[in-house]
Structure 1
Amino acid sequence: MTKHTLGWIGLLAGLGVAWACSGWSPEEGLVAGDTALSRPFETNFPADLIAYHGPGPAAGETRSLFARMHEPSPPRVVVSEGLLVELRSATAGWTAARREQLLRPIASYLAARLADNGGIYQLSADGPWKLVVNGPEVVFPPRALRTHRFAEKDRPTLEAAYAAAVKELPAEFRLYFRSLDYAGADGALLCDELLALPAGERKHLTALAHYRRARLRMADVRSAGPDDATVRRALAAVRADLEAVGTAVRAGSADIGGVAFAAQGWLAHLRCAVLPLPRLRALGEADLGQALRIYLEQRRGGEPTADDSIVHILRAAAGCEDFTECARDPELRRLMTAYLSGGGQLTQGSALFDREGLVGHARAWLAALRAARVDFSADAVRLAALAYRVGDWEGCAQTLREAPSADPLATLLRARLDLRAGRPVEATRTLGALLQPQDRRFSLGVYFYDFDDRTRGANPSELPAYRFELPDPSAGQFAKARSELATLLLAQGRYLEALDHFYRTGQTKDFAYVAECVLKVDELKAYVDRAWPEDASTVKPTAKRIKYRLDEEPEQCTPLPPAQALRHLLARRLFRAGRTAEALPYYPAEIRPPFAHYLELMTRAADQTKARRERADAYWRAALVLRELDDATQFCDFGQDWTSARDYSDDAKDDKPLHWHDVGGLPRVRVQPVGDEPDSLLAAPGPDEQARVHAWIAANLDRPDRAHRSARYAVARLALQAAELLPDDDLGGSRILQFAGSLLKYMEPAAAQPYYRLLATRFKGTPLGAHARAKHWFSPLACEPDPDWILKGR
């Protein structure tokens, strides 16, 4: 059946069944069948990199998208300022007037080049020259109050003044500024001329000229063609210039913009990335170990791109499965294992390989390590996770013998192997030992799922991996271990233990499945009384709306206290079972006062000794209390859903609205396969669980009570009981029926029929009843319900 949701905003905004938060997918668990017990695991590569080499460069203040698009990069700003500092030093013997005449056009032109990107920025005030660019504007200390402004229309004049000034500069500056106007070989030739000057005439820009020539000649490497000798000569020339940068700085040349530090990064680039890695390897120029050491040194020095450069090495080697050098080099080996175990990504959600590619690379990496006779014990957990991911059960088991016994990921893998070998009791024991002693706090793990993954079966190599995205990865691993333990306990009929673990893990749909569909209400009540007493009050109860729905997004809604959600679920079950008085102490403190008032009103309404109008008034006021409490009193987390979509399926006679319809997921998916084959073989439900769930489905899904999914139905029913007790043509009764019918007439027109019929027959003498009789439906008028309608309708 294809559903085309129309998004009826006006109606959905008032529905109790609408989710309070949007954009969230439930956590994976029972709904995924064997997939949840088979998915491979990914470790956290960024966390591993920090553990191995300390925190990376501080991120600093986050730049806005506008700033990234329009403001110049910090290195350009620093180089421009550094050039002015050196130029002022080189012209220290000039008269003030001459310096003002020539250096002002140079500074203005540099500011204009930066201002090409737009935006507002300010250069540091460290040097004798300070540029403050805003549209742009150039300030020359010490006369900082004097400003020189120019606009785009002044650009030709500015460029002419700059060109004239450059001709009067010392030779090294004249040649360098001219080189800025050329790319490739032409710019490199001007750098050649600069570096051919006597050493004393280029002392300010020697390092910068070597750096610029190296960057310009790097294009020659990429365009050298297939001739190996030509490529080697081009690489050697670039490498010589980059090495000369540091030599020149040590000899006294200015390190403008930190080019000596930057040159080291480009030296590493020549060894791993200037050409595709297979080409560099064939030329004998690849040296991933040296490149990695340089990037790690730059990382310690604060280079913000160092982590990306390290990932580039690992990605390039993994992409072409060039693993021989990586397997031999201890640091490359450690990082490659962490990288592949982390899913080939630097940040969560940015995988660089598709699933099949990653599995193939992991398989090749394990083979390379074995060929190099590497001892797997040094990184047993990550290597075992890789072996599990590629389906190497024997290799995974052997590697786990060297893993720490208390490591949560290693324990998960051991339990997975036991389960696949048909030893569920051993798997349960393994996970249970990890989680002792238990505590009462939540251990939330974040692992969302795609329902289509359920059709992939139980082969880890065919499944996307879990990514534990909490700041502490082990917290997510402990949560996953608790989740899988709960699933195994459930399959063994140990329902209360399963519920306890699902609840502590925060798997809302799974603990609700056990509490709603598996346990009998008295079993649940006894368990809650024993294990989950009411939380100590920390704040004074307020009248604001509380969170009670299990499908609300945890990151955007206020989290519940540890015991409240489970106690509230029990309260709603007791209400639906007709045991409303017993339910009172299990509701959250915020709900108890109005709910106690509801019980009092219902007692008065049921008292046959009271006058009919008094009883009707009690029913009506009780309906308004339920309306205020909305779904808090009896909502069930499983059942039919409402939609504004229409039925366009092939077997439909027309495209009538779907309104209430069955949905996939729990509880049906646990006991009824989605396809031809069972979806839960590793931890299948036992006969007792199946019998309990089928009985629940028969009572709640096959014969659904709409009030369990929307409070509108419960409110309307009480309103109907109130109207039935009132005399014919009572004005208050007509208003009550109009209000109750309006609750349902869009949601389910058929359900509103009894209200319409009563309004059009017994209350036909009222304006609303007359309209219903004439128009054969409710008036379109809407009004806010008044608690005193019955008293005013006398």
Structure 2
Amino acid sequence: MWNANVNSKPLRLAAALALPFGAAVVIACGPDFPLQVLNDRAGTLKATPANSFAYEAAHLARSSDKLQANENDGAYAAPGKLSAADAADAAFMTPAQRAQLKAVRALKDGDAAYAQGADLPPAVRLYAAGAVDYLAAGAARARAQKRFQAVLDLPRDDGDKRAVWAAYMLGQSHAGAMSGAGNKPAEERAKATQAYTLARARAAAGAPDPNGLAVASYGEQARVFLVKGATPCGYLDFVNATPCADDVPAADLKQAIHLYAEQAARNSDSGVQSLRSIAAWALSDPERAQKLIDDPLSQRLLVSYALARVGDMNGDDASQPAEYDIWGGGYGYVDAARGAKDARVNPVLPSLVAALEKQGIALIADADRVAALAYRSGYYDLAQTLADRQRSALGSWVRAKLALRKGDVATAAQAYAEASKAFPQNDASVEPASLGLIKAEQSVLTLSRGQYVEAFDQLYNVTRAGQTREKEGSLSHPLYGDYSGDTWYLAERVLTVDELKTYVDAHVPATPVPAPPQKLPATPDKPYYEWLSAHPAQLSDYLRRLLARRLVREGRVADALPYFPDDQDLRYVDVDENYYTDGKRTLATWRYRATAKEYGDALNDAKHAWRAVTRAEAWYKAATLARRRGMEIMGYEEAPDYAGLGGMLAFGIGRTEVREYPHGDTSKAPLVKTPEQRAAADLPGPFVTADERKRYAASESKPNVRYHYRNIAADYIMKAADELPPRSQAFAAVLCQGAGFVYYDAALAPTLYRRYVKQGAAVPFSADFGQNCVEPDFKAAGRFPYVQAWKKTRHWVATHRALGVALLVALLAGAAALGVIAARAIKRHRSEQKSGPKNAEAAQD
């Protein structure tokens, strides 16, 4: 375990050795962007199968105990929280004793420390005095060794409290004495090895080890083998490839590698980094690698490093730094197997493969990993031989790649099926995230065969598994390692809405609504976020919401409602950012289902209401909801709206859209004009069926513009205006609001304004049209025809007085005549009623 605080220079090796290597998937740069295997499908399916170096290093050796490293204790601890060691002491020491121990540690002389620690437990007292002597160095080191040994000689019940600490420091003392003048390096190394071994044995037997010293002892023991004679070779000797590192005997170097592997197997990042440095140093020179290749574990180290951290050549350049990390994908690496232009295999790789082959296939450790290395290096026959020799998920993965190179899709599909049998369980040949990548690659092949629902199911299950496991064993990093971008692409652009609905109904039920927090604050506070952390949003609900938005876009609002989150489910309450008012964040009062229902009801009224003004008001309400909540109730998850990123970015997930104009220059002829042309441009290359492009074109946003729902809102505004009297205030107000909805659209916003200018009346807000608008007065618009008719009548009378008087007299005369006629009719009717009974009596007589 080298000192992690060394201020090292950059690693400078031969040009043939690229530093870190990258992943076989593509990741965009940005916030929370997912991995995507569908961007370059041919490259995805050709890419080198591999694990990350950290995974491989941690699995070079198998741990037979429960010892664990503790390398970051307190690094992220809350203020005032005890370290692991202090917490362990608090379990058997009083506060007064702990205070006394703190005072003892501050002393400069071991004897004084021992005398002042009279009230401490015996092991603690002896160890503290020994630690003071050790730090004093010089002659005091001998006293330190005696006191550390005295701790180990105590009865187990007393000595265990500091046994691991004492054994570890005894090892450190002997290791430090190896290079002293007149000392005996071999003898001191033997004593150091014995002490480190004892530290691990006491910890394994149950002695407290809060600092993880037992695991650290593997790294410290490794260091005593990295020596040139009596001179220790440190981290910088391997980083800078000094003669000291070259003169370490091969047997000692292998022993150190074994010890570092044991350390790495116990969750030690320090052990992983030590192995990384040695592997990089060894592969920078074929002679160095040759010294290690006959040892199975050292051989596996070199192969793992070559696969994970040696980049291929970009032209003549192999110095592009990039880490192969399945959690985060590749960052600028070159993998010649992907078929990238100007990429060629790094000479280091075939050199290593040739050395392994020369040694003999029978002596190759982990044939599946060497098969992957041979595949990447272009040794396809050897790769096939080795992959067939070892049946594992990694071996099947390599066989799938080899079959695809031959154009044998059926065999590749079978090999992918064999490799993915380990999913979601862990096959030791591949790390958990690689299992997810295998399944994701399988979906690429499935998609290329026109099996859309099955491909979606494969990707959805990978993404779901990645978000339901703990980080250490998950199939994906919480931020980067899922395939949600490709999953939502299939759900939104490839599956038909009914295919998606059928799948969701069969496999993706809504999650139960959790009990709400005891008090729902208006402003998010700590208890609310704690409740939210305990009840996180679920991937299944996310998919259901995507389906709901698709249904709304299809005009099936009633069908969509059950797929939106329940309005009582506070996991999905939006938070409003009040940037332009008080700057505070508040919990939104609107809800998904209620808003979608309100939108659907408005559309229904707009289409079926009897009165024109009622239809106009409904169109306006639908327009307002579409503009204000369109992202939430009808927005595309990916292009063109990017609801998955809150609409903040127009890239990063889904397919990369080809620009409509060359270099964005609208003065030139468009590159693509139709949905079919855009589908062909956005989905290039092999492994894409014509039917997928057809589905992609059919599911394109209408209109195909950024924030498409805003244009829909503007269209509804036009429909509202169609139903309103052009000279009314409501007509001008709705057009003003609509212009504000699309103020950024240089073509659409002026269209609404021109209609107002052409048909509308002058209004006070016309000067800031689209900027400062008022709400339309629909009640006044309903009365507007009658008011206008009365005004016209008054105006006509005022301009035709004589004729108007004559008409009025005629009207009054006519009314009087009608009155006389009506009066006579009433009188006659009453007379008939009175004579009616008398005539009836006469008839009876």
TM-score clears 0.5: yes
8 A contact 1:572–1:634 mirrored in 2: yes
- In structure 2, what is the equivalent of residue 394 of structure 1? 381
Maintained 8 Å contact 1:295/1:309: yes
After TM superposition, give the deviation of residue 350 of structure 1 in Å: 12
Residues 546-625 of structure 1 correspond to what in structure 2 (within 5 A)?
560-562=538-540, 565=543, 567-590=544-567, 591-607=592-608, 610-625=610-625
Matches of 1:495 and 1:756 in 2, distance apart?
45
Cα shift at 1:65 = 13
Matched, 1:492 2:449: yes
Are 2:58 and 2:261, in contact at CA under 8 Å, matched by a contact in 1? no
8 A contact 1:575–1:633 mirrored in 2? yes
Q: Which residue of 2 aligns with 1:716?
A: 714
The letter for the 2-side match of 1:320 is: D
Question: Does the alignment pair 1:381 with 2:368?
Answer: yes
Mapped partners of 1:689, 1:354: distance in 2: 30
| 1:25 corresponds to | 33
Distance in 2, matches of 1:624 and 1:34, equals: 45
* Cα shift at 1:422: 1.1
Gaps of 5+ in 2: 1-28, 80-85, 87-100, 117-122, 144-168, 197-212, 311-322, 336-343, 464-482, 523-532, 568-591, 642-646, 651-658, 784-845
| Overall identity of the aligned pairs, in % | 20
Q: 1:671 to 1:471 in 2, by over 3 A?
A: farther
Rounded to whole Å, the distance in 1 between the matches of 2:452 and 2:265 is 53
Distance 1:686 1:758, change over 3 A: closer
Q: Does 1:752 align with 2:749?
A: yes
**2:513 matched to which residue of 1?**
539
Deviations 1:582-614 (A, max 9, x none): 555555545343323322222222226x22222
Change in 2 beyond 3 A, CA 1:46/1:669: farther
Q: For 1:375, what is the secondary structure of its paired residue? A: helix
Q: Does residue 680 of structure 1 match 2:685? A: yes
CA distance in 1, matches of 2:185, 2:330: 33
Q: Which residue of 1 aligns with 2:110?
A: 86
Alignment correspondent of 1:318: 283
Offset from partner CA, 1:496-524 (integer Å, 9 cap, x none): 333333333344444454455445x4xx4
Check the 8 A contact 1:635/1:708 in 2, yes or no: no
CA deviations 1:515-549 (Å, max 9, x no partner) are: 55445x4xx415632664461441169999xxxxx
Distance 1:417 1:708 in 2: 42
Tell me how far apart the structure 2 counterparts of residues 45 and 617 of structure 1 sit (CA, whole Å).
Answer: 63
Q: State the distance in 2 between where 1:668 and 1:335 align.
A: 49
User: Paired residue for 1:57?
Assistant: 69
Alignment of 1:46 with 2:54, yes or no, is yes
1:376 deviates by 5.9
1:486–1:502 CA contact under 8 A, matched in 2: yes
Question: Aligned with 2:389: secondary structure?
Answer: coil
| Shift in alpha-carbon separation, 1:261–1:487, aligned structure 2, 3 A | closer
What is the letter of the counterpart of residue 452 of structure 2? Y
Equivalence map 1:193-592=2 (5 Å): 239=185, 243=189, 264-270=221-227, 273=233, 275=237, 279=243, 283=247, 285-286=249-250, 287-293=252-258, 295=260, 305-321=270-286, 322-343=288-309, 359-373=346-360, 375=362, 378-404=365-391, 407-432=392-417, 435=420, 474-506=431-463, 507-519=483-495, 521=496, 524-526=497-499, 528-529=501-502, 532-533=505-506, 535-539=509-513, 560-562=538-540, 565=543, 567-590=544-567, 591-592=592-593
Q: CA deviation at 1:705?
A: 0.6
Greater C-alpha Rg: 2
Q: Partners of 1:300 and 1:708 in 2: how far apart?
A: 50
1:725 Cα deviation from its structure 2 partner: 2.3
Residues 617, 709 of structure 1: alpha-carbon distance in 2 compared, 3 angstrom cutoff? same
Question: SS of the residue aligned with 1:749?
Answer: coil
Where structure 1 has 5 or more consecutive residues not aligned to the other structure, the ranges are 1-20, 68-73, 97-124, 132-139, 141-168, 177-204, 218-235, 251-256, 445-467, 545-554, 773-777
Partners in 1 of 2:515 and 2:599 — Cα distance? 18
Q: How much has 1:398 moved relative to structure 2?
A: 0.8
**TM-superposition CA deviations, 1:455-507 (whole Å, max 9, x none):** xxxxxxxxxxxxx9x99964433332332222223322333333333333344
Q: Cα offset for 1:346? A: 10
Between the aligned partners of 1:260 and 1:526, the Cα distance in structure 2 is 58
The 2-side partners of 1:174 and 1:302 are apart by 32
Determine if the alignment matches structure 1 residue 781 to structure 2 residue 789. Answer: no
Give the partner amino acid of 1:528: K
Give the whole-Å Cα distance in 1 for the aligned partners of 2:261 and 2:37: 40
Residue 49 to residue 129, structure 1, CA distance change in 2 (3 Å): closer
Within 5 Å, give how 1:98-109 maps onto structure 2.
Answer: none
Q: How does 1:101-180 map to 2 (within 5 A)?
A: 172=139
- The Cα offsets for residues 213-266 of structure 1, whole Å up to 9 and x where unpaired, read as 76688xxxxxxxxxxxxxxxxxx979469549859999xxxxxx9999997454
State the alpha-carbon separation in 2 of the partners of residues 249 and 50 from structure 1.
Answer: 24
CA contact 2:676–2:694 (8 Å) conserved in 1: no
Q: Which moved more, 1:708-717 or 1:302-311?
A: 302-311
| CA offsets 1:19-56 (integer angstroms, 9 cap, x no match) | xx962334222221311111113214433444424365
Instruction: Give, in whole Å, the separation in 2 of the partners of 1:304 and 1:643.
Output: 37
Equivalent of 1:725 in 723, 737, 740: 723
Are residues 540 and 625 of structure 1, via their aligned partners in 2, closer, same or farther at CA, if it must alter by over 3 Å?
farther
Aligned residues: 578
How far apart are residue 767 of structure 1 and its match? 0.6
Deviations 1:315-347 (A, max 9, x none): 322222322332222332343334434436798
Residues 225 and 256 of structure 2 are in contact (CA less than 8 Å); yes or no, is this contact kept in structure 1?
Answer: yes
Q: CA, structure 1 residues 299+638, in 2 after alignment: closer, same or farther (shift >3 Å)?
A: closer
Determine if contact 1:584/1:596 at 8 Å carries over to the other structure. yes
The answer for the alignment partner of 1:743 in structure 2 is 741
The 3 A distance-change label for structure 1 pair 331 and 741 is: same
Determine the C-alpha separation between the residues in 2 that align with 1:628 and 1:89.
72
Amino acid at match of 2:722: E
Cα distance 1:378–1:244, how it changes in 2: closer, same or farther (>3 A)? closer
Report the secondary structure of 1:752's partner residue: helix
The CA distance in 2 between the partners of 1:487 and 1:690, in whole Å, is 15
SS at match of 1:328: coil
| CA 1:762–1:337: 2 relative to 1, 3 Å | same
SS of residue matched to 1:713 = helix
1:82–1:246 distance in 2 versus 1, CA, 3 Å = farther
| One-letter identity of the residue aligned with 2:709 | A
Q: TM-score, normalised by structure 1?
A: 0.58
Name the CA distance, whole Å, in 2 between partners of 1:82 and 1:525: 74
**Partners of 2:491 and 2:500 within 8 A in 1:** no
Paired residues of 1:707 and 1:714 also in contact (CA < 8 A) = no
Q: Distance in 2 between matches of 1:66 and 1:613?
A: 62
Taking a change above 3 Å as real, the CA distance of residues 766 and 393 of structure 1, as seen in their structure-2 partners, is same
Task: Assess, with a 3 A threshold, how the Cα gap between structure 1 residues 211 and 412 changes in structure 2: closer, same or farther.
Answer: closer
The residue type equivalent to 2:406 in the other structure is A
Contact 1:376 1:399 in 2 (8 A): no
Contact preservation (8 Å) 2:557, 2:596: no
